[in-house]
Structures are given as structure tokens and as C-alpha cells.
Structure 1
Amino acid sequence: MEAFPIEIIDQILDDMDGPIASMESRTFVNVTVSSRKLEIFKHAFLDRSRRSNAVHRRDLVKDITLCVELWPYPLARRHRSETDKELEENNKHLTWAISSFLRIMSTWKKGDIALRIEVYSPTDCHHWSWERFGDWTEKRTNGRLLRFVNVDRHFNNIRPVRCITQFGQYTGRGIHPASIGKIWKYMSNVRTIDSNLSQSDNRYKKEKEQERLDLGLSLAGTPFLHLTELTLAYPHGMILDHDFLPGSGEIVEVDQLCLAINKICQTAPLRKLQLTDGFVVSPDLFTRPESSVMWPKIETVEINMSGLTPKGGWYTTGSNTRFWRARFNSYGNTNRLRRLENGEVPKNPWRDSADPKEFDSLMVAVAEALLCMKDLRSFKLGGDWFELDFEGNRLDGQNNCLKFYDYGRGKWEFSVDLRSLWSLVVKEEDGGEITHRHVSSYPDDDTN
């Protein structure tokens, strides 16, 4: 096979079964590299000359999984919280591993490689059990995230990585979202991002707000010149105690994360936006630009939003006159206190309707934005907590309408007609009666 061109070899190997293809010494379509073996990885693909086999190997690579191996810990400590020293050492190794990998990949020429990242300790494999995985990992990490340290020293003089065009899911230990954003800064040719981002526990309110701010600032400072699809899962965390206040009380004037995503949609060649797993959304996501066209390339928008606001409030309200507490004996005493502090224990669920003060401002922003998206073909917005679930598809023809169909429980209906004066009609069912509220209209419309 040495005499065949790279393209033919690649095609042959793609059609082979995995075990057969692995027998070919030049099969490097899928590569898994451990952070402890980065030097071996570097030399295996080292470009020493124009005719080097390593260059041909680079051309074959389509998928890389980087396994960041954290420091092992004694099995006897698996149910004890990670110490500050252990966290510090893991942060140092994470920083070194990611920066070293990016430095290696920056020497590769342009390509079409998908990158995934796994972060774990080898000790995890000794007691891996899906039934109890969540319990011991939550207690072990204590809800704390890994993050880069000494950034200026480790990431100094790293050139843009041109060969990675897809950034996929990462698994294992949670990484600070701003550190993930730091990785994206070096991917100058990335076209697709499909990432699940981690957050600290709900009880760490100030930390969560700072993480969101840091991620927003990181995204705002990244150009994303080639990004066409962006999928972010950034779950706040399920709150079942309706008396729980998710914010720290500090005033948040502008949601930098939603503002940054808005900027990406406006300036990048983005065609598809997905915000999933209870993404906390604010009206800043739909802030209209000075130009008449908003999100000029966007064709598909899908948002599964949380019932929480970035300002530490709720989009839902109700009458807090009832009192109800669930019998919550399904969890052991070990994690009960942590779940109570996180608002995860069901208690007094009185928030059963949308809060007009918070929710209407969001819907006004949505309505006004939709009218300015000229290439939009599909729009979905869902939220389980307040029975919101609607979607719309643009109808080509003389009506030129973007109509919405309510697939929820009848609480809300939305209708947007691009040729009518009304940008949004909201129908709210309350006690058997339906009231109509036009929450957004053009100034010359005098209809009530």
C-alpha cells in the first residue's frame, strides 16, 4: 500500500472493518492520545522533511480524542472531598496538558479534524459504576471545577491551530467554562462547536455568576471567522425548591454571555444555533443591532431555556400561600445536605405561571428579533418549567409568514406575521379565560 496515494489509502481504510484496518501501519484516521504520552504523539507525527511518513499520517487523521489524565488518588479517599492541594495539582496538569497539545497541533497544516476531550483520574476506573457514579464524583469534587492556572506562561506564543474544525463533547471532570473558551481562541478554523459546559453547584452563587461572566467575556473576544454551527449545553442545575433564590444578590446590568452569543450570531457565518439543557436566557440574547438585518446567516434556532434569569431571579411566579413538602427519602444522608443547599429537594412548588415583569420583556425581545432575521427558516423555543414550547417554520409564498404552532399545554400561543403590524400576539390562559396581550407592535399601529 506504500505506493498508493494518500487519498486512495484513506478510502480503502474507511471501508475496512476496525480490526482489519488497524493492522495497516499507516491507519491514523482516529487517534486517542493520553496527556502522559504527548511527547510520543508529537514525534509520531513530527514533520522532519517533505517526504516524511509523519506528514502522510497527519493527512489521514480525522478524529482526535485527548485524554487528560489527572493525578491518581488512594481508593480509600474516593468518597472524601478533594483537597485544595489535589485541586491545585490537577489544575496545573490540566493547564500543561492542554497548552502542550495546542502547541503541537499548531504546527500542523490546515485540515478537517474533530477534537474531543476527556478529563479523568486513572483511579476512577477502579470503581466505575453508572448507578453510583454521580454520587461519589459529586462528593469527591465537591462541585468544584478545574481551570487553567499561570495562563500567560503556559499559553505564551502558541500559534493558531488551523487543523481542527470541530470541537465536540468533553466528558469526565468538569472544566471551568472560561478555560474551554480559552481553547476556542486558538482554533482559528473551527466550523462546528458542540460542547457541554460545566457549572459549579447552585450553592456557589457568586462562583456561578463569575463563571458565566468569564465565559461571556471569553466568547466576546474570539472572532469565530468560520463558525457555522454552535451548540452549547450550559445547564444551571435543577432547582425544585421554589423558595430558592439562585442569585447572589449582586446587580447584573448586562448578561455578558447572551450578549456574546448575540455578537457571534451577528458577525460569524453562523447558520445554526442550539442552546440546550435548560440554558439561562436573557433579552440580551436578542438585542437588535443598529442595522436592519439581525443574525444575517442564521437559518435554524433551537433553545431549551431555564426558568431562571441571569440576574438571579425567576421567569415564573405564583401565589406563595400554599405549603407543600415532598417526602424525600430516596437519597441517602450523605448527599442530602448538599442537595438541600443546592435547592434540589422538592419543596413548596408555588411557581406555576409566567411572571409578566420578567417574561414579557424576554418575549418582546424575541418578537422584535424574529422580524429582522431574513434567512431564518426554523425557530424553536422550549421551557419545561413554565409550559412553554413552540416552534415556527417559514412558509414560502405570497404570505411570507413565520407562523408558530403551540405544542405545549395551551398556556401560550405565538403568531408572527412579517407583513402585519403586529410582531407578536400572546394568548394566556388563566382560570378558564383567555386574555390577549399585544406585547410588541410598530409605533404606527393603533390597534388595541
Structure 2
Amino acid sequence: MGVKGDVFDLTLHGSDQNLPEPGSQPAPASAIISKIRVNSTKDCLERFDRVFHETEQRQSVQDIVYEVVLPPVSAKRLKKLQSSREAAANNVAFTQGIFDLFDRLRAWKGNEVSVTLEARSLSDDAEVLDDIEINHDGPEIWRFRNLWKFLMVDEGTLPSGVLPEVGYISKLDFRWLSENGRSLHPKTAGIIAAALPRARDMTWGLLMPGRRLLSLRKEFRSALAQVLLKTAFPAVEILKIYLEDGNPYNDSFELESYCEKEEEDDLSLAVRRLLRLPTLANLELGGCWILSPTAFLAAAEIGVEIISSTLTDLHLDLSVATPTGGWINTGDNPRDVDDDTEDSDSDVSHASFNSAHSDHSDFVPENEWLRADGELPQNCFRDTPDPSTFDPLVLSLVRMVPKLPNLKKLCFDLGAGGGAIGQLTVTFYAPGQPSRRSVRRPHSPLPPQEDFDEKNLQRARWYVLGLVDFNRDWRMSDELRAALQGANTDGVEIFMSLCNQRIEGA
């Protein structure tokens, strides 16, 4: 058997040998297959078919790690950004790979399984990359070559035009799809999710294009919004979507706009829809999400008593940018900021960049990309919430809490994803829900926050924590304080700390 640790690895040749026959003597515990690894190659799928052709062999399987093997590329191409031709070939392989797995699993009955998706090419192997000679300074291009060429499922190439529906996949995870910058397009995530009508637990990992690629960034974000608005999610109870993005390190950077001020942001509308899914209990939007107040509470819902009776846990990583191109935070901008970063050598020829005929390595421009993404010059001064943008966003979140009667915990990090110095974490705990605690030393007093938590455990609690470099002179508005206090009919306690200093009377 091809057992590695607790995983039955069908990617190993001969791993399908010496297995107990179905109906023979009861297999020892060590021979029971609960987690398997398989890839999309023909040989591996044939081994999979031989091992699991009987229902009895399938009954013990709980987890499947499935790797779609993408076409290899030449050493010459590995020195270049991924080409459109390569991307098209990858999409063909990825589409076929997902189809081959789902086509097999749709016949499974009885036990539910968890599926983790991965994608790689043999050309991604470290020993292949280490042998490539580069002729430029700076990082190797293969660290970046796959970024922004998102893997797609082309339903037009499928026999019935859609992926086979699989009723016994209860959990899907593709957060860590690849170690080489490969990620799914939101449309692909939606297509896969739509084929899993009984999936209760989903974890997605998506990579937001940088701000220098503004057109692609807007298209990606809009596609994500449409997927979240239209995908049914008929059984999902746990949904975790990690959107890898960040805040600019240059607080003078001109932010992009996704909608006009009088328009409703489509991604915010999509999040509002997720919060109202009838089966959803746990929602985590990780990474860095640019959202408006529309995401949480519409003006028409102010008088609505309940917007979700199932939601118990909510975690949000929010950007300090707004969908209309504004900032959540403000501060005193130093007028003179030295930008002593130099661009790439102007004598370097760009004629060979990403050329199919050149033997030269592509290179990451030394600082141009960082500057276009808002990372340079580093000019961080926005350390204070701007009432005109901060209050509407946070108030919509806070006023949503009383309309979630079974909510146990809400946490939102404002300024998540790096780049923001005015980072604020706001957490709500329902009565009886303990906060996270450190190990207590014998005979030592509890830290202020934990002491507060212990004394008020049976009451609803808010924690408002301004992290390092947050403006310690900031105080919340009376309207926000009243909203916090109104989160629970039996009363609320508030703990506020800025830069590790507790603010009394908050």
C-alpha cells in the first residue's frame, strides 16, 4: 500500500497493490483507507478506479486530496511570464481534471467526503527551477510568472456543458491551491461550487490582482460579486473566502473606484446576500475586503427584527479603502516625503520582455510595480478614523448585531491585509462566550482585557482595540457608543484599548 503517514497516496506507482479484497477478512485499522491523495494523470486515475470500484472500499474514505496536473513548460518559458497559449493549455487540463474527478465521484453513495483541490505542473518542482540560469538581478521571475493567469473551467468543452453534480462532497477546500502563484478565477470557484449541492463547508482562496492592473482588478472583483450573488449555496453552513489583497503603504495614493457615490457596490451587495443565506452559520471573509455599509444593513432593513436566525460566527477582514475610492482613515500628511527609490536601469531592453524567441529572463522591475501598486513611497500617516466614512461602515455592522439573535461572536479587523497603521479590531461576544485568553501565570494578576472578560462573562461584550500606531487620542462618537450599547437587550459592556492603553469610560 502507498501509505504516507495517514494518507493513502495513489500518486505512487504500485500503490494499488496488496490491498485486501472486499468481503475478505476484516482489515486491520492500519489498512482502513480514510484519506487518499490522487492526481489527474491517466495512470493515477486508473489506480483510483481499481482500488475504489466497489462500494465497500469507498465507505471508509473521508478525505480526498486531488491534484490537477498541468502541462510542463520548457526551461526557456520558465524564464518568462506565463503566456496566453500556456494559460489556455492549463485551462484545458484543469477542466478535464476536475471533470474526471467529479465524473467518478457522482456514482459514490453513502458516505460523505471532503475534497481538497490542488494544481501544479512538473515544471513547478524546485529541482527544475533551481537549474535555470537567470541573467538579471532581483527575484526570479518564476515566483511571479503564474500570477494573474487564473485557472478557468471551460464548460463549453464539457460533454453536457456543465460539471457533473456530486451529491456526496460535503466539504470543499482550495485555499492553498498552489505554491507557485496559481489560483482560481472567481467564475471557476462558482462553477465548482454549483456542482456540489450538498456541500456544507467551503473554503476558498482567491488572489486579487494588484492596483497596477486596474482593469483586471475591476473585472476580477466584479466577477467575484456575480458569483456570490448567483451561486445557490443550498446547504452551506460554513463559508470561508480568503481574498488575498492589501492596503497601499502610500497613504497619498489615489485609490481606485468601483462605483459612483450614488451607486450600490456589487461586491457589498453580494456579501449582504451571503449574510442572509438560510443555512449559513459561520462566515469568514479573510484577507482584505473593500466593502461599503450596504454589505451589512440596508436602509430598508432598519425596522426588520431578524435578518438571519442561523448565523453564529462572523469574521471580516476589511480594507481601509472604500468602493468609491475613499479612505476609512485620515491623518496629517507630511508634505515632503522623499522617494529615494530608483527604477530599473533604463538601459535594460524591454524588447525581449515576455518574448517567445528571446533567451533572456524576464525580470520584475525594481520599483515600478511597487509604485504602481501604491506600495512606494512608503508614507503611512492615516492613523485616525474619518467620521465621514468610518462611522457609516461600522454603524451598519454594529446595528446588524441585534438582528442576528443566535450570533455568538463577531470580529472585524479594519485595516487588515497590511499597509494600514490605523488598524482597529472590533469584537463582539454574546453572553457566556469567553474571549481568547493567554496562559495565566500562578499568583499573577490577569491582563486588563482578560480581567474584564472574566468579570463580565455573562454579559454581552464589545472589545474595541486600536493596534500599534493607532491615534491614541481618538474617541468614538456618541452615536457609535449608543449603537454598541444597544447590541443586546440585557445590556452591554465595552472594553476599549488604544496602543495597549485601556481607555476608561468607553
Q: Shorter-chain TM-score: what band?
A: 0.7 to 0.9
CA shift in 2, pair 1:79/1:370, >3 Å: same
Map 1:82-231; keep pairs closer than 5 Å. 82-125=82-125, 126-127=127-128, 135-141=140-146, 143-151=148-156, 153=158, 156=161, 158-168=163-173, 169-172=175-178, 173-231=182-240
> Partner of 1:120: helix, strand, or coil?
strand
State which of 417, 422, 444 in structure 1 corresponds to 2:486.
417
Letter in 2 for 1:341: A
1:361-385 alpha-carbon deviations (Å, 9 max, x no partner): 1112112201211111111111342
The alpha carbon displacement at 1:41 in A equals 5.5
Matched with 2:427 is 391
Matched with 2:382 is 351
Q: Pick 1 or 2: higher relative contact order, CA cutoff 8 A, min separation 6.
A: 2
State which of 309, 318, 325 in structure 2 corresponds to 1:296.
309
Matched with 1:316 is 329
The alpha carbon displacement at 1:421 in A equals 12
The alpha carbon displacement at 1:193 in A equals 1.3
State which of 276, 279, 286 in structure 1 corresponds to 2:286.
276
> Partner of 1:119: helix, strand, or coil?
strand
Matched with 2:268 is 258
The alpha carbon displacement at 1:423 in A equals 10
The alpha carbon displacement at 1:282 in A equals 2.5
Distance in 2 of aligned mates of 1:387 and 1:370 = 22
RMSD: 3.8
Distance in 2 of aligned mates of 1:155 and 1:201 = 36
1:378-417 alpha-carbon deviations (Å, 9 max, x no partner): 1111134222112121125999853212232454665333
Distance in 1 of aligned mates of 2:160 and 2:246 = 32
CA shift in 2, pair 1:285/1:425, >3 Å: farther
CA shift in 2, pair 1:155/1:268, >3 Å: farther
Distance in 2 of aligned mates of 1:205 and 1:98 = 30
With the length of structure 1 as denominator, give the TM-score of the two structures.
0.79
Distance in 2 of aligned mates of 1:85 and 1:348 = 40
Letter in 1 for 2:462: F
The alpha carbon displacement at 1:297 in A equals 0.9
The alpha carbon displacement at 1:322 in A equals 2.4
With the length of structure 2 as denominator, give the TM-score of the two structures.
0.70
Letter in 1 for 2:393: L
Distance in 2 of aligned mates of 1:103 and 1:279 = 35
Letter in 2 for 1:408: G
Matched with 2:406 is 375
8 Å contact kept, 1:283–1:362: yes
1:118-156 alpha-carbon deviations (Å, 9 max, x no partner): 112111103467xx9985344323533222335474562
Higher helix share: 1
8 Å contact kept, 2:316–2:412: yes
Distance in 1 of aligned mates of 2:159 and 2:495 = 52
Distance in 1 of aligned mates of 2:463 and 2:397 = 16
8 Å contact kept, 1:401–1:416: no
Aligned residues: 412
Matched with 1:24 is none
CA shift in 2, pair 1:68/1:279, >3 Å: same
CA shift in 2, pair 1:337/1:365, >3 Å: same
The alpha carbon displacement at 1:287 in A equals 2.3
The alpha carbon displacement at 1:4 in A equals 6.9
1:294-331 alpha-carbon deviations (Å, 9 max, x no partner): 22111111222221223343222334452324655899
8 Å contact kept, 1:191–1:227: yes
> Partner of 2:244: helix, strand, or coil?
coil
CA shift in 2, pair 1:183/1:174, >3 Å: same
Distance in 2 of aligned mates of 1:134 and 1:190 = 40
**2:233 maps to 1:234:** no
CA shift in 2, pair 1:247/1:375, >3 Å: same
Distance in 2 of aligned mates of 1:261 and 1:250 = 16
Matched with 2:49 is 43
8 Å contact kept, 1:202–1:237: no
Letter in 2 for 1:388: L
Distance in 2 of aligned mates of 1:311 and 1:422 = 36
CA shift in 2, pair 1:299/1:250, >3 Å: closer
State which of 466, 476, 480 in structure 2 corresponds to 1:408.
466
8 Å contact kept, 2:399–2:487: no
CA shift in 2, pair 1:31/1:399, >3 Å: closer
> Partner of 1:170: helix, strand, or coil?
coil
8 Å contact kept, 1:412–1:427: no
Map 1:336-347; keep pairs closer than 5 Å. 336-347=367-378
Distance in 2 of aligned mates of 1:134 and 1:75 = 17
State which of 394, 411, 436 in structure 2 corresponds to 1:363.
394
Letter in 2 for 1:378: K
CA shift in 2, pair 1:348/1:158, >3 Å: closer
8 Å contact kept, 1:293–1:373: yes
Matched with 1:76 is 76
